[in-house]
Amino acid sequence: MTLGFALAVAATLLSGTAGPASAAAEPESAAGTRTAVRVKVSEFVTNDGGYFYTANETEKQRALSYGWRLTQTPMYYISSAPFPGGKPLYRLRWLKKASYIVSTQESERDKLVASGQFRYEGRLGYAPASREAGGDVQIWRLSSNSRWRLATEAHKDSILVKEPGWHLDGRVYFQFKSPS
């Protein structure tokens, strides 16, 4: 993928043309105004070999149109709006290539943006902070050579054994197993 094409993809995703559907990565001010709806998270491999996450159907279709490959990684559901016991999921793009990181910590988000190497794209959605908040499935973050990915417990273990070079960053949040 050329740099121009990558910038066009990022600009399109950020410009709002991806649509206002539930749980798009969105600016801070818009999140508290909608009713919480559970939405499915999708994982893509970008043309640069990075990983991209969305819970927005319009973004999903747009990513497919760019030739990004939808993976078979088991991902479940998050909420489109805040809820008691939930925490926001922040999506950031690494500026050197189409590689994305998801964080639940404002301090990490702010530190990455301040480094000048990442652009904050908004909230992916909201996830249970614990089992008590309704979380059914633990989600872990792994990293390898400026690529970041999310995985369930079993998938995390498989990646660490079968795909050399990946390192475990730790558990980042929970997902809901069902859409309701």
Predicted confidence (pLDDT) per residue in 86-118, tens digit: 999 999 999 999 999 999 999 999 999 999 999
For the stretch 127-174, pLDDT in tens is: 999 999 999 999 999 999 999 999 999 999 999 999 999 999 999 999
Q: HEC states along the chain?
A: CCHHHHHHHHHHHHCCCCCCCCCCCECHHHHHHCCCCEEECEEEECCCCCEEEECCHHHHHHHHHCCCEECCCCCCEEECCCCCCEEEEEEEEECCCCEEEEECCHHHHHHHHHCCCEEEEEEEEEEECCCCCCCCEEEEEEECCCCEEEEEHHHHHHHHHHCCCCEEEEEEEEEECCCC
Q: Indicate the pTM of the whole model.
A: 0.80
